[in-house]
Each structure stands twice: as structure tokens, then as C-alpha cells.
């Protein structure tokens, strides 16, 4: 990528992904049951080598991957992203034994991963989590408490779990663990949510974990979480951009052919100007996502601020674009099965998960004032 323009090879790859998502992945997604893990879809992502790309790509390539899949099949994009989110801490902070045991299955789409951070009283405020990791007299710890709004729960094969081991206050007392789903004392239930992908709650009743289950060092779990989120936040923005571009293209096509009030909708200035605004906002979000991904790949020092900006603008923009796309289509867009009805349900959640928009604004402001204080 030169500046903010994609190279010919990148454009070709994105076109291939859009065709793949519409041609092979969308039919598999449509056969899945809403709220359940779609294992045939995951297997197809593995067969196509896309899950491997999640772990071998830089941030920019991950963004292109997520944006292109989202354009044609949001379920495929989400299934891929959840595998990455749940297993990336294992790749970066896990032991060699943990990586050898779990990552081949994740890459192949056979093993389902989940990132278990949120709790009933600790969603966006991750440092406030209360899941207790109490020392076990026999060695290791016992996990007691609850996780909630965990994607892929309760069907995942393993969970990256963040618990309070108490080495210090707040974020300093959090450790990360790899917890297999069959560990005694671990149970879960599905939650019925607006988004169609699987989300559930987990209950930990003295679940045993030991030093071999640690991801990284005791008391350094919050860093494991932030390391993962700093990579995935710009690509959440890419997911949002993919949805916005799909909604925009559908709107351009619809308004170019739909007749009303004695003419074609595109000839009404109010319609044309709204479409122009949708396009401008989408392009601005796309460029900011690419810039944040490029900063991550360069190892820039301002990645947290850029990642927060990218997620904030892209997810808020996608909400705007999809909402106005529905408005310009009218009642037809509210029918079950219509692309925009589907996107309208999908687009709301990214403004909340992996740090709500308000949290992103807090991060941005904190980084700006820290920079001012350092001058």
C-alpha cells in the first residue's frame, strides 16, 4: 500500500475475498442456526486458508480481510474474527505446549476459541473485573465468578479467561488463563441477543487452573488483553467499513433505478446529497482504519490513540450509513432476509464491544493530554 491507495495485488485479493464470501461462505452462513456456532462455516474458512491469515498477517492485511468478508458475508467475517480474538493471546503469550495443542485446530476451523473478558459488572471497564482466582492449597488457583456477553460461549472448545489473582489493585492484579471447555466447574448458557452470532454467559464454580494454564505472567493479564485489543480494534473498524460499503452500494443501485414522485430517486437533490454524505463518511472511515493499521504494523508509539479513533469513527459511520440506507429504501429494507435488515441488526453491536464508543473517546482524550503533558 502506497499512502492511502491499495496496490493492484491487494485490490485483486480483496475482490477474490468478496467473491468468495458471496459465493461459498454466504450459502453456508444461511444454513446455520442464529445464535449457534456454525462449524461448517468455520471449516470452510480454515480450508480457504483465511484463519491462518489471521495469525500470520499484519494489521493492515487483517483489516482488508475483515472488510472484504464483511461486504459479502458478515457471519463469515465474525466467525473469523472471533477465532482470532480468542486465540491471539495464545499465539502471543502462550507457552509452546499451549500453542501446539490448540492453534492447529483453530487455524483449521476445527477448534472454537473465545475471548472471555466481559462480566456483568465489568464490560467496557475491563480493569474492574471481579472473577476471582483464589490460590488453591493443592497448587494453582480456583476460578469463581461469572463472565457474560462472551462471543462463541458456551460452545467454544477453550476460553482465554481473565481473572483477578490479586498481585496489585485494578489492572495490576489480573492474570490471563487458557481454560478448556471441559474443565470441571465450568458451565454456560446461551444469551438471546440482537446480533445473530453466538453469545453466552459462563459460570465458574471453583474451576481449577495451574501454572501451565497461564498466558504470560501472573498479574500481567491486562497487558495480554490490551495487546490483543490494540490489534483488533482497527479491524473492528474494518468490519464496520465493509458493512457501510455494502449498504452504500445497495443504496446507489436502488436509488438509481427506483421511480417515485414522477422521476428517479437519484434525481432528487435530497436523496443525492444524502448518498454523497454516506459515501464521504465511509471513505473517511476507511482511510482512518488503514492509517491505524499501518501505524500498528510500523510499531508506532501512538497505536492506542489511532486504534481508538479508527474503531470510533468507523463503527459510528457504519451505523449512520446503514440507518440512512434503510431510510432511502423504505419498507422493503425492513423485510426479514433483506440485506439492509440484516445489516441493521449487525451494525449496532460493534459500537459497544471491544470498548464502547465512549471508552474510545476516553482513550483518545487521555492520549492527547498525556502528549501535551510530556511536551
Residues designated as active site: 354
Neighbours of 301 (CB within 10 A): 10
Decide the pairing of beta strands 174-180 and 158-164.
antiparallel
Q: What is the dihedral of CA 349, 68, 52, 297, to 10 degrees?
A: -80
Beta bridge partners of 188: 202
Which H/E stretch holds residue 294? helix 269-298
Residue pair 124/359 in contact (Cβ under 8 Å)? The answer is: yes
Q: Which residues contact 71 (CB under 8 A, 6 or more apart)?
A: 18, 21, 242, 243, 245, 246
Helix (H/G/I), strand (E/B), else coil: 112: coil
Beta strands in 165-274 (DSSP E): 174-180, 186-190, 199-209, 259-260, 263-264
Angle, helices 269-298 vs 221-257, to 10°: value is: 150
**To 5 degrees, how large is the angle CA 196–CA 163–CA 353?**
30
- Residue 335, judged by CB atoms within 10 A of its CB (0-12, 13-18, 19+), counts as exposed
- Residue 338, judged by CB atoms within 10 A of its CB (0-12, 13-18, 19+), counts as middle
Amino acid at each position: 500500500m502506497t499512502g492511502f491507495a491499495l496496490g493492484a495485488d491487494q485490490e485483486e485479493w480483496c475482490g477474490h475475498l468478496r467473491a468468495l464470501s458471496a459465493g461459498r461462505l454466504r450459502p453456508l452462513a444461511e444454513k446455520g442456526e442464529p445464535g449457534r456456532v456454525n462449524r461448517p462455516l468455520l471449516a470452510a474458512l480454515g480450508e480457504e486458508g483465511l484463519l491462518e491469515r489471521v495469525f500470520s498477517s499484519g494489521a493492515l492485511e487483517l483489516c482488508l480481510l475483515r472488510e472484504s468478508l464483511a461486504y459479502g458475508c458478515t457471519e463469515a467475517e465474525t466467525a473469523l474474527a472471533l477465532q482470532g480474538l480468542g486465540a491471539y493471546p495464545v499465539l502471543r503469550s502462550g507457552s509452546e505446549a499451549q500453542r501446539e495443542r490448540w492453534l492447529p485446530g483453530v487455524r483449521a476451523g476445527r477448534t472454537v476459541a473465545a475471548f472471555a473478558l466481559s462480566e456483568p459488572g465489568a464490560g467496557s471497564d475491563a480493569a474492574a473485573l471481579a472473577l476471582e482466582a483464589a490460590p488453591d492449597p493443592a497448587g494453582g488457583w480456583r476460578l469463581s465468578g461469572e463472565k457474560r456477553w462472551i462471543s462463541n460461549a458456551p460452545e467454544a472448545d477453550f476460553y482465554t479467561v481473565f481473572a483477578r489473582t490479586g498481585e496489585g489493585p485494578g489492572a495490576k492484579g489480573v492474570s490471563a488463563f487458557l481454560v478448556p471447555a471441559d474443565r470441571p466447574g465450568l458451565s454456560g448458557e446461551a444469551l438471546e441477543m440482537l446480533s445473530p452470532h453466538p453469545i453466552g454467559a459462563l459460570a465458574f464454580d471453583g474451576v481449577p487452573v495451574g501454572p501451565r494454564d497461564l498466558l504470560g505472567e501472573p498479574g500481567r493479564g491486562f497487558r495480554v488483553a490490551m495487546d490483543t485489543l490494540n490489534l483488533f480494534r482497527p479491524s473492528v473498524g474494518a468490519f464496520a467499513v465493509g458493512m457501510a460499503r455494502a449498504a452504500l452500494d445497495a443504496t446507489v443501485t436502488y436509488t438509481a433505478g427506483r421511480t417515485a414522485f414522477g422521476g428517479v430517486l437519484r434525481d432528487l437533490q435530497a436523496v443525492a446529497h444524502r448518498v454523497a454524505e454516506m459515501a464521504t463518511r465511509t471513505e473517511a472511515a476507511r482511510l482512518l482504519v488503514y492509517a491505524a493499521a499501518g501505524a500498528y504494523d510500523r510499531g508506532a508509539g501512538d497505536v492506542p490513540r489511532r486504534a481508538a479513533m479508527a474503531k470510533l469513527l468507523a463503527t459510528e459511520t457504519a451505523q449512520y450509513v446503514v440507518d440512512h440506507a434503510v431510510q432511502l429504501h423504505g419498507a422493503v429494507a425492513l423485510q426479514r432476509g433483506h440485506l439492509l435488515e440484516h445489516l441493521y441488526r449487525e451494525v449496532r453491536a460493534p459500537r459497544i464491544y471491544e470498548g464502547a464508543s465512549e471508552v474510545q473517546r476516553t482513550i483518545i482524550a487521555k492520549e492527547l493530554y498525556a502528549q501535551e503533558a510530556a511536551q
